Amino acid sequence: MVNRFIVLGLLLNILLNLAHPVTPTIIYDSGLGNYMFGVAYASIAIGQLISSWFWGKVASKYGDLNVICLGLIVYCLGQYGFYLGKTEIALIIVRMFSGIGAGAFMVSTISYLARISGENKGKNLTLYTAITVFASTMGYLLGGILGDVNVKLVFNLQVLGIVITLILIKLFLVDVKKKKAYVPQSDSENQSIVLGKRTIVLNAIVIFTLIASTCYDQSFNYYLKDVVGFSPSGNGFLKAFVGVAAFVVASMFSKFQKRKNENKYLSIFYLSCMFLVVALALPTKKIVFMVINTAFFITNGLILPLLQVFYMDNSKRGNYSEISGIFNGCKSFGMIIGALVAGYGYELVTVLPFLISGVGYLVCYIFLKILKKEVSHECL
């Protein structure tokens, strides 16, 4: 079941990233300014934010696979709307619509994979994230090649491919029944207080993680062009190279990754990312920049799957769908803040988003230590 889901996930993530390279063309052909790139990205993130909790509730009642399929249908409609939309308001609405559909997919895939993985949850989430990175790279490259031929062709192939994948999901995957978590009646009041404190810290870690990674991600392409001097083809080569490298390392990491050590791994990776992203802001040669960036991209790519497992384990609730919904909502909120900070920060000083990103990773490390101390007090 896990292998079938991962193969279908690989196909879906290639398809979902197929239209990204032609997004600038759509906006340019609509006669809109460059500011719409950031607005379009934020609109998708807002769609995910407002819908994640809702999708978690729906998935807990009707099943993860049904929500995945419904979300992909909504996403397809949003994509066609994006291709046809010509005004600023229209593009914002359809991008939010796509974000709502993507939110359903993201919430339920995490929940479904965690549910069918059992004790291998951490390893499978790490492997799935690695495959997602690889598939995203392949989708981006394929979409760029097809976009040079015909932009409409990209959207038609994307929607057709998603519809075929929906059929395959229904044929080869089965929803898993949910087990209700048992909470002793005498401990429920005390536990709710503990969960309240812990949840605040957990959510803060997720939000600051996405602020940090989005600050890097949203300013990186501009930095490559303006400061490092990479051409568009060089940019594409670098993305492809680091994508494959991240896939290989994450796949290897998932083989020896030990459960219940997520706090230790995350602490190491947060500190590593902090130093690496700050190093990217320093003047250096292109080859050195590529090495540092590859190391950062790989390390950063290992954080999210570990954080997903860590979040689920420390939430102490039995409903993966609802937990995944809250987790994805926090991610979306962090993405919105990170995108805005990156945009305004880059306008002030080109390296400022990298420095802010480093501060974000440091904050996550500090929150991890606070959470560890909180858990230690509970065990006493």
d(C-alpha 129, C-alpha 136), whole Å: 10
Q: Which domain holds residue 261?
A: 2-172+188-379
Statement: residue 180 has pLDDT above 50: no
Top pLDDT among 327 and 137 is at: 327
**For residues 168-190, b (16+ Cβ closer than 10 Å) or e, as one string?**
ebeeebebbebeeeeeeeeeeee
% the chain with pLDDT above 90: 31
Total tally of structural domains belonging to the chain: 1
Positive or negative CA dihedral for 178, 199, 67, 133? negative
237, with CB counted inside 10 A (0-12, 13-18, 19+), is: middle
The total of other beta-carbon atoms located within 10 Å of residue 372's CB is: 14
- At residue 117, the pLDDT reads 85
Helix axis angle, 286-315 to 320-348, nearest 10°: 150
- At residue 67, the pLDDT reads 94
d(C-alpha 184, C-alpha 192), whole Å: 12
Residue 366 lies in a domain: yes
Helix axis angle, 188-223 to 352-379, nearest 10°: 160
Residue 177 lies in a domain: no
Whole-prediction pTM: 0.77
Residue 255 lies in a domain: yes
Residue 178 lies in a domain: no
Residue 282 lies in a domain: yes
Residue 183 lies in a domain: no
- At residue 100, the pLDDT reads 95
Mean pLDDT of all residues belonging to the chain:
82
Top pLDDT among 38 and 135 is at: 135
CATH code of 279's domain: 1.20.1250.20
Top pLDDT among 88 and 133 is at: 88
Going by pLDDT thresholds of 50, 70 and 90, the confidence category of residue 206 is very high
Top pLDDT among 35 and 148 is at: 148
Top pLDDT among 240 and 168 is at: 168
Residue 182 lies in a domain: no
Vertex 328: Cα angle to 325 and 329 (nearest 5): 85
d(C-alpha 211, C-alpha 77), whole Å: 29
Residue 180 lies in a domain: no
- At residue 259, the pLDDT reads 59
Q: Which residue in 226, 220, 230 sits closest to 353, CA to CA? A: 220
